[in-house]
A and B are shown apart, each in its own frame.
Chain A
């Protein structure tokens, strides 16, 4: 572990930087929207308004009825956007948690049993680190078809190998010399060692990794949905709104721009928070 020298590390002010504050505020807003989606969306997201098809947003000559305009079937873009935010966030949170759980568990198993278990885990780590995840995900979708559960689980495997590496490395070093070895010789069971001692000690590192993986998963989800291979209609996610809006790029760009804007701002916010957390909590991560 090499820490940058004190001279090259500027002293960060204790206050949270304005950009990070903005990121936190935006993320909170998105979560509020996601949780209250049913309450705040003005229309059911599948409701058609055939008299107002491809209506422009307010300010671009559209009616007050549909603040962000409507799509080709007259569905309210704002309502669809709210429901999409909920689904995209659900997928991203679910997948991030799955990845962290799977990766950390495998990392602990490798650290605990060593030997062939460790070799197997490391070979799998090598394997998934050496292939672009998008290609792997596409192959699985081709073979298995698509369902929402499968899709979340599949995205959960994105970045699992990072957690596995971190968990294994830190658990081994804790077991070789430090507190974990001490607790083991007290007679503690593996559950106690890993659950009560190792996990809380490496939690900050894992949380930073999760904040760094979260925007990547949003991008993956929206990319796959954009290609028509992710979330399937009638369900709607941010990427899938962009994908369908693309056909009306020239006539009704708002269908596409609204969800695109949300994707960019959300990933940007979480990335800022993640970078900031990493600098604060864990300078050993890249």
Chain B
């Protein structure tokens, strides 16, 4: 097997948050030790509730933010400091697709100019106009739409334009942060297909961040579930989403409305999580239906399950502890 294109190890990102107005500042770990890797042509789906740190993880992986701990390697080399020339050059090889296409586009500049902008920035040789036309067609827009302004396009068309801009320099890695959640359901599928199509043609590696399990399952080769800054379960999408091992993943999956599915929906107990109040031990234990005393004390490591090697971070799954509630 070849070396991964992207390799992130033990990423930690802390923010300083103020409690109250003049209260003490508390460090908040938005990302609390995330490791992931991605190969050429592979899609990793990153799922979790909003606020679980998945967007921050995406930005760390791209080097848009510097991790407080841990490291990112891209194509075998460490990530340069943000703002340096090396860092700027690297932007041509990795791109971020934003959730809000209208916000990501400059409303005063035409679509065509914006799609050409990465080519100008990275001084790509060749006919930029022709390349823009080619990009527009490849994402399913018409060539004459190059002269339009963002507000003259529909939501789906704007996201296509953002994609075209991201593809301009033929990046090896695309991080798509909730790329379809601002779109109408009917357009979501088109954009998803477009992403899959691009990947098939160019072998782009894709980190697909979403809160929508069904979407992630459609596109991903692997799925990682995040909870409060940590990956709690990672494996192939069918396995993780058919038969989740981690109690949190089980709750997420049970919340998907599916006709004919057996079993009851697991309703999570307790308050929604906040990284400012990270519980001790396993961060999920206050809301976990099967938690035992050990879960409050010891933080479980993400390691392969004995039966099939799926990565899970739960004491109970690994048999380190036995829940009485399950038995009851």
CB contact between B118 and one of A177, A178, A186, A189 (< 8 Å): that residue:
A186
In the complex, the answer to whether B103 meets A178 with C-beta atoms within 8 Å is yes
CB contact between B95 and one of A183, A185, A192, A201 (< 8 Å): that residue:
A185
**Can you list 23 A-B contacts with CB-CB less than 8 angstroms, sorted by A residue number?**
A177-B100, A177-B103, A178-B104, A179-B105, A179-B106, A181-B98, A182-B96, A182-B98, A182-B104, A183-B106, A185-B62, A185-B91, A186-B165, A187-B88, A187-B89, A187-B118, A187-B122, A188-B88, A189-B88, A197-B106, A197-B109, A200-B109, A201-B107
Is the C-beta of B164 less than 8 angstroms from some C-beta in chain A? Answer: no
Using CB atoms and an 8 Å cutoff, list the residues of chain B in contact with chain A: 62, 64, 88-92, 95-96, 98, 100, 103-109, 117-118, 121-122, 162, 165
CA distance A192 to B89 in the complex (A): 15
CA distance A135 to B109 in the complex (A): 44
The verdict on A182 contacting B105 (CB below 8 Å), with A187-B91, A189-B88, A192-B121 known, is: yes
CA distance A178 to B99 in the complex (A): 10
CA distance A188 to B92 in the complex (A): 10
**Given A183-B117, A185-B95, 8 additional A-B pairs, CB 8 A:** A178-B103, A179-B104, A182-B98, A186-B118, A187-B88, A187-B118, A187-B121, A200-B109
CA distance A26 to B104 in the complex (A): 42
Using CB atoms and an 8 Å cutoff, list the residues of chain A in contact with chain B: 177-179, 181-189, 192, 197, 200-201
A33 to chain B, nearest CB (A): 35
Q: Which A residue's beta carbon lies closest to that of B106?
A: A179
CA distance A237 to B88 in the complex (A): 52
Q: Which A residue's beta carbon lies closest to that of B175?
A: A185
In the complex, the answer to whether A188 meets B108 with C-beta atoms within 8 Å is no
The verdict on A201 contacting B100 (CB below 8 Å), with A187-B88, A187-B91, A192-B121 known, is: no
Q: Which 7 A-B pairs have the closest CB atoms?
A: A187-B91, A182-B104, A179-B106, A178-B103, A187-B88, A186-B118, A185-B96
B110 to chain A, nearest CB (A): 13
Instruction: For A185, list chain B residues within 8 Å (CB).
Output: 62, 64, 91, 95-96
CA distance A30 to B215 in the complex (A): 64
A247 to chain B, nearest CB (A): 54
In the complex, the answer to whether B91 meets A200 with C-beta atoms within 8 Å is no
CA distance A185 to B108 in the complex (A): 19
Instruction: For B121, list chain A residues within 8 Å (CB).
Output: 186-189, 192
Chief secondary structure at chain A's binding surface: helix
CA distance A179 to B62 in the complex (A): 17
The verdict on A188 contacting B117 (CB below 8 Å), with A177-B100, A182-B98 known, is: yes
CA distance A213 to B3 in the complex (A): 61
CA distance A21 to B90 in the complex (A): 53
The verdict on A179 contacting B103 (CB below 8 Å), with A185-B96, A187-B118, A187-B122 known, is: yes
CA distance A37 to B52 in the complex (A): 68
Instruction: For B98, list chain A residues within 8 Å (CB).
Output: 181-182
Q: Which B residue's beta carbon lies closest to that of A203?
A: B108
CB contact between A179 and one of B91, B92, B107 (< 8 Å): that residue:
B107
A101 to chain B, nearest CB (A): 21
B166 to chain A, nearest CB (A): 9
CA distance A29 to B104 in the complex (A): 43
Instruction: For A201, list chain B residues within 8 Å (CB).
Output: 106-108
B168 to chain A, nearest CB (A): 9
CA distance A179 to B165 in the complex (A): 12
Instruction: For A178, list chain B residues within 8 Å (CB).
Output: 103-104
CA distance A179 to B106 in the complex (A): 5
CA distance A186 to B98 in the complex (A): 12
The verdict on A187 contacting B103 (CB below 8 Å), with A182-B98, A200-B108, A201-B108 known, is: no
Instruction: For B108, list chain A residues within 8 Å (CB).
Output: 200-201
With most chain A CB atoms within 10 A of its CB, the pick from B89, B100, B109 is: B109
Q: Which B residue's beta carbon lies closest to that of A204?
A: B108
CA distance A186 to B90 in the complex (A): 9
In the complex, the answer to whether A186 meets B91 with C-beta atoms within 8 Å is yes
CA distance A178 to B117 in the complex (A): 16
Q: Which A residue's beta carbon lies closest to that of B100?
A: A177
Instruction: For A183, list chain B residues within 8 Å (CB).
Output: 106, 117
B30 to chain A, nearest CB (A): 15
Q: Which B residue's beta carbon lies closest to that of A186?
A: B118
B84 to chain A, nearest CB (A): 11
A138 to chain B, nearest CB (A): 37
Instruction: For B96, list chain A residues within 8 Å (CB).
Output: 182, 185
Instruction: For B165, list chain A residues within 8 Å (CB).
Output: 186
With most chain B CB atoms within 10 A of its CB, the pick from A177, A178, A186, A188 is: A186
Instruction: For B92, list chain A residues within 8 Å (CB).
Output: 187
A198 to chain B, nearest CB (A): 9
Q: Which A residue's beta carbon lies closest to that of B62?
A: A185
B178 to chain A, nearest CB (A): 13
B93 to chain A, nearest CB (A): 10
